[in-house]
Amino acid sequence: MTRHGLAALPKAELHLHLEASMRPGTAAELADRAGRPLPPAGPFAGLGAFVHAYERARDLVGTLDDLHRVARELVEEAAAQGVVWTEVHVFPPTYAGRLGPDEGVLDAVLDGLRAGSAAVGGASAAGVVLGVNRGLPMSAAERSLALAIRYRDAGVVALGLAGDEANHPAERFADIFARARDAGLPAVPHGGEGAGADSVRACVEALGARRVSHGVRAVEDPHLLAELAERQICLDVCPTSNVQLAVFPSLSRHPLPRLLAAGVPVTLNSDGPLFTGSSLLQEYELVRTHFALDAEAVGALAETSLRVSHCPADRRSGALAALSAWRSGGG
Ligand SMILES: [Zn+2]
């Protein structure tokens, strides 16, 4: 199985943040135009330092055209890595007052994603996980919910949750996510990165999540691991990001093998290649070599990503057929 074989492996990326996906060349161009420094890359001392860098990247996006470009390039990069479907975390309220109303921000992103898909002949496409920030007032969460419901059939595929999980537990947002679920929008919250297993449990129990972004600190509680396996709740894991944000001290200490051994569904993701320097393809290559995964195990990661995604059914079935062909070709 070669790097070329991994690029041909049909897969989905389900945990990627829009501004953190910027091509380095695009970030440099936008920074130059704005007269601002480039945001620092990892490793980071912790989540706080990362959030600061993330905000600096977001500040480079100066117009709706910039947003459109970043979204379009995201799909073009995805297609080059064999990613047939991406779920992009976006937080329109964080542009409030700078790029106009939330609707205009979201339209620019969705148009950009569609333009990217068209540019690669439909080989790749993307949907938006519209974010709620744990640290903002509840009125901001209400705004995100209303926006997500309004765009439910126009590119928004789920409601996300991010931010300071240690100080803003998921339970506080139970009502928001219940209303999202009633409107047909599943929960895809971040949890188990900046706080422990209880935070992952809260995402599942209070928010009804069937997928959790990161979720890796679930390993701190064997009962929770068993429950995630039993209920087939998926963790959208980002190994390089976890090491660079000091969630684990090294890749050797990363719990990916333990999660897989426990039978927990896991997908592989890059989180933010602008900061980590590692694309999804590099993440596949990294875990393949570091954890000695064979073609079957790597194919299983890709299959999980397609099965648990909110990808349109025809795209999923086409990708699963291509994955089956990849497997019989030995990768
Ligand atoms: Zn994330």
Amino acid at 306: L
pLDDT score of 46: 83
Q: What is residue 195's three-state secondary structure?
A: coil
Closest-CA residue to 255 (of 270, 272, 271, 238): 238
pLDDT at 97: 76
- 26 CA to middle of ligand 1, Å? 21
How many angstroms separate the alpha carbon of residue 318 from the centre of ligand 1? 27
Contact 176, 139 (CB under 8 A): no
Dihedral (Cα; 48, 166, 18, 111), 10-degree rounding: -140
Residues lying with their CB under 5 A of ligand 1, a single-atom ion = 271
SS3 178: helix
- CB-CB contact of 213 with 188 (8 Å): yes
Rounded distance from Cα 87 to ligand 1 centre (Å): 11
Please give the distance, rounded to the nearest whole angstrom, from the Cα atom of residue 14 to the centre of ligand 1.
Answer: 10
Rounded to the nearest 10 degrees, the angle between the axes of helix 174-182 and helix 138-150 is 10
Q: What is residue 260's predicted lDDT score, i.e. its pLDDT?
A: 97
Domain boundaries, the chain: 3-120+131-316
User: Is 76 labeled as catalytic in the residue annotation?
Assistant: no
**Hey, which residues does 161 pair with through a beta bridge?**
132, 189
Are 254 and 264 in contact by the 8 Å Cβ rule? The answer is no
First-residue to last-residue Cα distance in the chain: 5
pTM score, whole prediction: 0.97
Share of the chain above pLDDT 70, in %: 98
Residue 34 CA, ligand 1 centroid: distance in Å: 26
Alpha helices (runs of H) in 61-137, residue ranges in sequence order: 64-80, 102-119
Q: Report CA(282)–ligand 1 centroid distance (Å).
A: 17
Q: Please write the tens of the pLDDT for every residue from 38-80.
A: 999 999 988 889 989 999 999 999 999 999 999 999 999 999 9
- In the chain, where do the E strands start and end? 11-17, 83-90, 125-133, 156-162, 187-191, 211-214, 234-237, 266-268
Quick one: CA torsion of 316, 319, 324, 328, rounded to 10 degrees?
Answer: -170
| Class level of CATH domain 3-120+131-316 | alpha beta
Tell me which of 13, 77, 165, 193 is the catalytic residue: 193
Spatial separation of the C-alpha atoms in residues 169 and 195, rounded to whole Å: 9
The segments of the chain whose pLDDT lies below 50 read none
